[in-house]
Structure 1
Amino acid sequence: MDMFTWLLIIVAAYFLISRMMPAKGVANITTEEAKGKFKEKGTQFVDVRTAGEYKANHRKPFKNIPLHELKNRLAELDKNKEVVVICQSGMRSMKAAKVLKKQGFHNISNVRGGMGAWSQ
């Protein structure tokens, strides 16, 4: 392979790996740890799945704010309180955690494995 092909492979690999890496300052928690936070006052729970996914299966006290609407609905969240985010597998919620981090939220937890892990 020539140098250009290797460079292209390296850039593609970096892109894929960086998308899967947890955001700096975001805690990855288990479903059990998330359940433990239900008792904590002031913790905000956000489910970033689509409205249809949320309607089909969700856990209280998670509030549905689909990922594609998150930036427009940030006013519904308090930057000074912890935010726990969940999705179906943990990928969209990690994207949401990165969005929240960029918007000035500091205490963010991503539920590892998402709702898929919850039902196990």
Structure 2
Amino acid sequence: MDFLRIDTIIAVLVVLFILSRFLPVKGVKQIKIAELKELLKDKDLQFIDVRTEGEFGYYHIPGFINIPLHQLSNKANQLNKEKEVVVICQSGMRSKKASKVLKKMGFIKITDVKSGVSNWNR
């Protein structure tokens, strides 16, 4: 009987962990690619692409600077914490992780582009 309880608890924890990977980051604004096209006109915003240098070099949206996700913690000092940061990646997973990193570092105004660069021309 105890094994059944432990198995149930483990199963519930695994499900909660998986669900948490897909839920939006609390306090981070989520937008679609169509909304990004309007935001690009705002020169007060900071646009970062967290894909790898190779991905960014192959194709990127004009106006974005490249800070790969694995370098974000070390290079976030290049960004102004007082200004809104718009984060994008290929499909939305890395930008979500980047949003969490920025949030933990004290950034307040963060916008995550949910669908990523892959949907830019659609």
Question: In the aligned structure 1, how far is the partner of 2:92 from the partner of 2:77?
Answer: 23
Q: Does residue 118 of the first structure (1) align with residue 120 of the second (2)?
A: yes
Q: CA RMSD in A?
A: 1.1
Q: TM-score with structure 2 length normalisation?
A: 0.94
* Cα distance per residue 1:78-100 (max 9 Å; x no partner): 00001000001101000100111
Tell me which of 33, 36, 48 is aligned to 2:35: 33
Alignment correspondent of 1:52:
54
Instruction: Tell me by how many angstroms 1:118 deviates.
Output: 1.3
Structure 1 vs Structure 2: percent identity of aligned residues?
Answer: 47
**Which of these two proteins has the greater Rg computed from alpha carbons?**
2
Q: Which runs of 5+ in 1 are unaligned?
A: none
Instruction: For 2:100, give the aligned amino acid.
Output: K
Question: In the aligned structure 2, how far is the partner of 1:17 from the partner of 1:60?
Answer: 33
Secondary structure in 2 matching 1:22: coil
Secondary structure in 1 matching 2:87: strand
Question: In the aligned structure 2, how far is the partner of 1:41 from the partner of 1:86?
Answer: 17
Q: Which runs of 5+ in 2 are unaligned?
A: none
Tell me which of 7, 10, 34 is aligned to 2:9: 7
Instruction: Tell me by how many angstroms 1:119 deviates.
Output: 2.7
- Following TM superposition, the consecutive aligned residue runs of length 4 or more in structure 1 with deviations greater than 6 angstroms are none
The number of aligned residues is 120
Instruction: Tell me by how many angstroms 1:41 deviates.
Output: 2.1
Q: TM-score with structure 1 length normalisation?
A: 0.95
Tell me which of 108, 111, 118 is aligned to 2:110: 108
